Amino acid sequence: MTTKDIVLIALFAAIIVVLGFIPPVTISFIPVPITAQSMGVMLAGCIIGAKRGALAYVLVVLMVAIGLPVLSGGRGGLDVLIGPTGGYIAGWIVGTYVVGLIAERMVREGQKEVLQFTGFFVASIIGGIGVVYALGIAWLCFSTGTPVMTALYGNLAFIPGDIIKAVIATLAARAVLAGYPLLPQRAH
């Protein structure tokens, strides 16, 4: 791992923490708030790749584990990681890796813009929504005893916002690729 990789991991961990300053939106029928930090999954995976993006989230989760209030709403501590939202938080790490892996495979410098936009969007949807929801819902059901169908229906409320996040991440990733073509070079 190079110094550049370490700097990018730390930078994106900081960006993820800053996204936590945006107040969460709670929905009464599910114990999981809507946060901007989940958009970091898509941004980190698309912009700095699978390995570095996932490590940025590992760094954030380590900060949460030692009690730093770096999650949306000023939350932190082990109780957050084992609480109802713990699966989504773990899902952020895996989801970021999947986003990055798909983006690395689908998006190339010099290919048509529409293919780049499509690659980033598909990566964001599959990893940033699909993977995160799968792990989050599984843990939510396990930790709270919520029936799977209830959790699935409850998560439908998050889909429109997460699609907007995927669009924002796609536009940002494409802008970074166009403006800083050396940045996406993958970690060694």
Q: Coil, helix or strand for 75?
A: strand
* pLDDT per position as a tens digit, 106-138: 998 889 999 999 999 999 999 999 999 999 999
User: What integer pLDDT is reported at residue 22 of this predicted model?
Assistant: 86
**Backbone φ and ψ of 33, nearest 5°:** -80, 160
Distance from C-alpha of 102 to C-alpha of 96, rounded to nearest angstrom: 10
More confident residue, 28 or 140: 140
Question: Going by C-beta distance under 8 Å and a sequence separation of 6 or more, which residues neighbour residue 137?
Answer: 87, 148, 151, 152, 155
User: What integer pLDDT is reported at residue 183 of this predicted model?
Assistant: 58
Q: Radius of gyration (Cα) for the chain, nearest Å?
A: 16
User: What integer pLDDT is reported at residue 150 of this predicted model?
Assistant: 92
CA angle, residues 162, 163, 167, in degrees to nearest 5 = 115
Give the containing element (helix H, strand E) for 104: helix 86-106
CA angle, residues 160, 68, 164, in degrees to nearest 5 = 10
User: What integer pLDDT is reported at residue 161 of this predicted model?
Assistant: 86
Question: Residues 17-43: what's their mean pLDDT?
Answer: 81
CA angle, residues 74, 170, 152, in degrees to nearest 5 = 60
The CATH number of 3-179 is which of 1.20.1730.10, 3.30.930.10, 1.10.1760.20, 1.10.150.120? 1.10.1760.20
CA dihedral 112, 169, 136, 138 (to 10 degrees): -10
Q: Has residue 1 got a pLDDT over 60?
A: yes
Quick one: which of 151, 155, 170, 139 has its CA closest to 39? Answer: 170
* pLDDT per position as a tens digit, 63-111: 999 999 999 888 999 999 999 989 999 999 999 999 999 999 999 888 9
Question: Residues 7-20: what's their mean pLDDT?
Answer: 95
Quote the tokens at residue 109: 């410098």
Report the range of poorest mean pLDDT among 5-14, 17-26, 55-64.
17-26
For residue 81, the one-letter residue type is L
Distance from C-alpha of 185 to C-alpha of 177, rounded to nearest angstrom: 10
* pLDDT per position as a tens digit, 146-173: 999 999 998 888 898 899 999 999 999 9
Domain boundaries, the chain: 3-179
